[in-house]
């Protein structure tokens, strides 16, 4: 069994560390945040990731947490880099945390550096050159990108669709492959640049599918088709498959927005205008804003109207608010003069101007509309006599097509989904005050 140092105790670093410890390896996770390390040492898990706590508990004696670089490096055969790579203002990935880790390696380091963080193509070559320039030729370098989705990260790690390993040196690649013994899944062995590109291209393709189905949904609304049925009919084609065809209010999260932007930027910096990527990103920006038009169609001007956002995290089963569509929606609604309330079973973000409530019922009391922003299963039984009676206007805009339109309408709500047929009975009787004043 190997000794593995992991840099970064975030969503990716913690899951990677816990799963390797579960496979029997000795793991030391290093982070720069004292509070995070203290909590982990006390047995707390600082992020919401189903299943992670149980794995950490199970391997307590094989995983430790530290603020000290030396402790993570000493005796380690592998040094996994799992620090964040957020976008810069230019849209490129900010690699400063990655470079800090590389620069902090001691002069006598012997391990294999394994890049888990998502980085632009060419990063591995630059790190290799920097290591060589410091006389660290004995330090190996391997790209081993992550494909774990939040909420299912532990399962995705232990039962992966594939393990991608890009190495400069065949033996280093073999060593990283051997770390994964015990995990069943095809292994793709390649060069470092291609491994880096696989990660960016996989995410780019997934967001392309979502933006595609979102545009189909928008056309469905105009022509009276139902995108849920359309997606089902498309997805049964074995050449296409059913995944990532759920229309909604757009994709967010810690990876998709930054990685699609980084790929677009990487292409542009390399002299190529990536038309498709640009369109896919633009469609997503517009998609987040379409809810406003739906609300206006029913309620007229939004100034003074009270709108409840149900679900705030970028998707269910996470507390992650990074690039959550709720952030764009809340600020657009506030700009229109609406009063915005929010509810989420896990995320408790501090959103300026948004009042958070402890239950969907409280959030919609006297509200003019409820918008389902995140498809938390708790919202499946949101429509009821009680919630309808509590609302000033019983209007539900279902940004995720979570609910069944017929049963919601049968309860007396006006319902508008995404890419679904609009019923004439859906327009609220007192709706549509004319737009007399320009919105703020
Ligand atoms: C990861 C990846 O690293 C990113 O490239 C990938 O595309 C998405 O997932 P994630 O684990 O989600 O990031 O990020 P985050 O939860 O922010 O964790 C990063 C951790 O690294 C934080 O705990 C942060 O404190 C730590 N960190 C950051 C360091 O230990 N050192 C630094 O210099 C900077
Ligand atoms: C994603 C990738 O799936 C994972 O492989 C990568 O390593 C990190 O980025 P994650 O961001 O955790 O994982 O979540 P994911 O389930 O992929 O959803 C991302 C966003 O797309 C969410 O906002 C979700 O609501 C949206 N989405 C997803 C849709 O709008 N429709 C879909 O059909 C699927």
* CB contact set of 382 (below 8 Å; sequence gap of 6+): 310, 360, 370, 372, 396, 403
Ligand 1: centre distance to CA 65 (Å): 15
Span 182-207, pLDDT tens digits: 999 999 999 999 999 999 999 999 99
pLDDT tens-digit map of 82-140: 999 998 888 888 999 999 999 999 999 999 999 999 999 999 999 999 999 999 999 99
Residue with CA closest to ligand 2 atom 1 = 149
pLDDT of 438: 52
- Whose C-alpha lies nearest to ligand 2, atom 7? 147
Query: What is the distance in A from the centroid of ligand 2 to the CA of 150?
Result: 8
Percent of the chain with pLDDT over 90: 93
248 CB within 6 A, ligand 2: yes
Closest CA to 404 of 392, 390, 415: 415
Give the strand pairing for 3-7 and 339-343.
Answer: unpaired
What one-character DSSP code corresponds to residue 251? -
Spans of the chain below 70 pLDDT: 424-440
Ligand in closest contact with the CA of 153: 2
Residue 92: per-residue pLDDT: 85
Rounded to the nearest 10 degrees, how much is the dihedral formed by the CA atoms of 232, 235, 238, 239? 150
User: Model's pTM, two decimal places?
Assistant: 0.92
What pLDDT score was predicted for residue 426? 67
Residue 422: what pLDDT? 77
Asked if 415 and 426 count as a contact pair (C-beta separation under 8 A), the reply is: yes
Q: What is the pLDDT of residue 440?
A: 46
Instruction: Using alpha carbons only, give the angle 77, 81, 82 rounded to the nearest 5 degrees.
Output: 135
Q: How far apart are CA 323 and CA 12, in angstroms?
A: 17
């Amino acid at each position: 069994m190997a000794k593995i140092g992991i840099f970064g105790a975030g969503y990716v670093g913690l899951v990677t560390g816990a799963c390797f410890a579960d496979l029997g390896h000795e793991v030391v996770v290093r982070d720069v945040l004292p509070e995070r390390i203290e909590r982990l040492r006390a047995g707390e898990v600082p992020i919401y990731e189903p299943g992670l706590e149980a794995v950490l508990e199970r391997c307590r004696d094989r995983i430790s947490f530290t603020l000290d670089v030396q402790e993570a490096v000493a005796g380690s055969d592998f040094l996994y880099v799992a620090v964040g790579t957020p976008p810069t203002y230019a849209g490129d990935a900010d690699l400063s945390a990655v470079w800090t880790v590389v620069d902090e390696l001691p002069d006598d380091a012997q391990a294999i550096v394994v890049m888990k963080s998502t980085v632009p193509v060419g990063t591995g070559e630059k790190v290799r050159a920097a290591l060589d320039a410091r006389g660290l030729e004995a330090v190996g370098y391997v790209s081993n990108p992550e494909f774990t989705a939040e909420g299912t990260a532990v399962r995705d790690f232990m039962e992966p669709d594939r393990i991608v390993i890009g190495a400069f040196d065949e033996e280093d690649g073999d060593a990283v492959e051997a770390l994964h013994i015990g995990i069943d899944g095809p292994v793709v062995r390649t060069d470092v640049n291609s491994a880096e590109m696989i990660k960016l291209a996989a995410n780019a393709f997934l967001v392309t599918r979502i933006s595609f189905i979102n545009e189909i949904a928008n056309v469905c609304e105009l022509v009276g088709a139902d995108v849920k049925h359309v997606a089902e009919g498309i997805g049964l084609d074995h050449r296409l498959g059913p995944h990532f065809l759920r229309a909604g209010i757009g994709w967010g999260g810690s990876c998709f927005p930054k990685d699609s932007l980084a790929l677009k930027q990487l292409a542009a910096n390399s002299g190529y205008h990536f038309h498709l990527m640009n369109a896919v990103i633009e469609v997503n920006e517009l998609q987040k804003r379409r809810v406003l038009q739906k609300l206006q169609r029913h309620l007229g001007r939004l100034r003074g109207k009270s709108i409840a956002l149900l679900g705030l995290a970028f998707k269910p089963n996470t507390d992650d608010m990074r690039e959550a569509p709720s952030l764009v929606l809340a600020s657009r609604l506030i700009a229109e003069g609406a009063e915005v309330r929010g509810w989420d079973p896990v995320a408790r973000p501090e959103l300026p101007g948004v009042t958070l409530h402890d239950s969907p019922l409280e959030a919609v009391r006297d509200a003019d509309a409820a918008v389902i922003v995140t498809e938390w299963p708790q919202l499946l039984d949101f429509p009821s006599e009680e919630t309808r009676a509590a609302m000033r206007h019983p209007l539900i805009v279902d940004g995720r097509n979570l609910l069944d339109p017929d049963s919601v309408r049968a309860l007396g709500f006006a319902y508008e989904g995404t890419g679904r047929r609009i019923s004439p009975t859906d327009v609220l009787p007192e709706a549509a005050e004319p737009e007399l004043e320009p919105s703020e």
